[in-house]
């Protein structure tokens, strides 16, 4: 119960920050902006090119945006982790929470879960914005809509454990290293070398699905093409994502539990 209260308090504190307004505005505006660009291109195609058809449909929007969602979501997790833990990292106030009697496990895993729930809120805003603006601004076919939405939500279901794994890695860094600059450098290095190693593997190599950067494979799936999202593949996504989360969380909590707070 205390953990739930702590998570609730952390979410409420993060939502009241000025950065939250910026974050949710981005989640709302970016999908609308992308669909508005597609709609403008359709208008230009018909008006200035004299074409009767439209090159960008709602299905095209979902496909194009689905290709960037895995990478874009990972970048946003950096922002959400900073909103949830940034102030305590900069001002070292988490030691006050421990001194007041809060368990270190509650503090560590409460931050992780609060960051995850906060990220899901941002994802929900972005998805609603994407779907509503796409259906309003772009042509779509009622017959293909169920398949498109089904493929899109399967795509998100495969991406969520990846983002949780990245958040677990960031939580590990935040509790282990009290420096924004060092954390940013290590995160960038991990992403760079992970992508570099993945790019050297054949695209069909099963090892590529078990790397921190395996999510690049997800960018190859277009929304609406759900054949690749078999139960085995989705189970693998969640298994690997939870594995990375567990490994980094165990390492981070062990180090935090043993460290003397100053």
Distance (Å, whole) CA 100 – CA 97: 5
Whether the pLDDT of residue 224 is over 50: the answer is no
Which of 99-108, 133-142, 194-203, 234-243: highest mean pLDDT? Answer: 133-142
Please report how the helices 18-47 and 104-137 are oriented relative to each other, as an axis angle in degrees rounded to 10: 20
Selection from 23-32, 40-49, 79-88 with the highest mean pLDDT: 23-32
CA distance 115 to 82: 9
User: What is the radius of gyration, based on Cα positions, of the chain?
Assistant: 21
Q: What is the pLDDT of residue 17?
A: 86
Q: What contacts 137, CB < 8 A, 6 or more positions away? A: 35, 36, 38, 39
pLDDT at residue number 27: 94
Q: Which residues contact 21 (CB under 8 A, 6 or more apart)?
A: none
The predicted model gives 226-233 an average pLDDT of 69
CA angle 155, 185, 177 (to 5 degrees): 100
List the domain range (segments joined by +) for residue 136: 2-258
- What's the rounded Cα separation, in Å, for the pair 47 and 10? 51
From first CA to last CA, the distance across the chain in angstroms is 28
Residue-wise pLDDT tens digits, 54-91 = 778 888 888 888 878 877 887 788 888 878 876 666 66
For 115-169, give the DSSP string.
HHHHHHHHHHHHHHHHHHHHHHHS---TTTHHHHHHHHHHHHHHHHHHHHHHHHH
Domain count within the chain: 1
Task: Give the HSE-up count for residue 253: Cα atoms under 13 Å, Cβ half-sphere.
Answer: 17
Give the pLDDT mean for 159-183: 78
As a whole number of angstroms, the distance between CA 102 and CA 252 comes to 17
Q: Would you state the structure tokens that stand for residue 71, as one six-digit string? A: 């990478």
CA–CA separation, 19 and 200 (whole Å): 38
């Amino acid at each position: 119960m205390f953990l739930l209260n702590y998570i609730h308090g952390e979410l409420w504190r993060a939502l009241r920050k000025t950065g939250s307004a910026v974050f949710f505005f981005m989640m709302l505006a970016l999908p609308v902006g992308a669909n508005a660009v597609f709609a403008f291109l359709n208008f230009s195609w018909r008006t200035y090119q004299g074409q009767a058809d439209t090159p960008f449909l709602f299905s095209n929007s979902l496909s194009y945006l689905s290709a960037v969602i895995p990478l874009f979501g990972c970048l946003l997790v950096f922002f959400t982790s900073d909103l949830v833990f940034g102030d305590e990292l900069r001002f070292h106030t988490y030691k006050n929470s421990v001194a007041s009697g809060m368990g270190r496990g509650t503090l560590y895993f409460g931050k992780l879960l609060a960051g995850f729930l906060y990220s899901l809120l941002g994802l929900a805003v972005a998805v609603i914005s994407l779907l509503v603006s796409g259906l309003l601004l772009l042509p779509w076919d009622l017959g293909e809509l169920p398949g498109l939405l089904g493929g899109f939500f399967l795509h998100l279901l495969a991406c969520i454990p990846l983002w949780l794994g990245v958040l677990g890695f960031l939580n590990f860094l935040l509790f282990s290293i009290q420096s924004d600059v060092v954390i940013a450098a290590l995160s960038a290095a991990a992403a760079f070398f992970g992508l570099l190693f993945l790019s050297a593997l054949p695209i069909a190599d099963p090892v590529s699905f078990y790397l921190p950067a395996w999510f690049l494979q997800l960018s190859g799936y277009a929304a609406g093409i759900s054949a690749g999202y078999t139960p085995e593949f989705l189970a693998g996504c969640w298994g690997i994502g939870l594995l990375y989360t567990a490994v980094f969380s165990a390492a981070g909590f062990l180090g935090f539990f043993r460290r003397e707070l100053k």
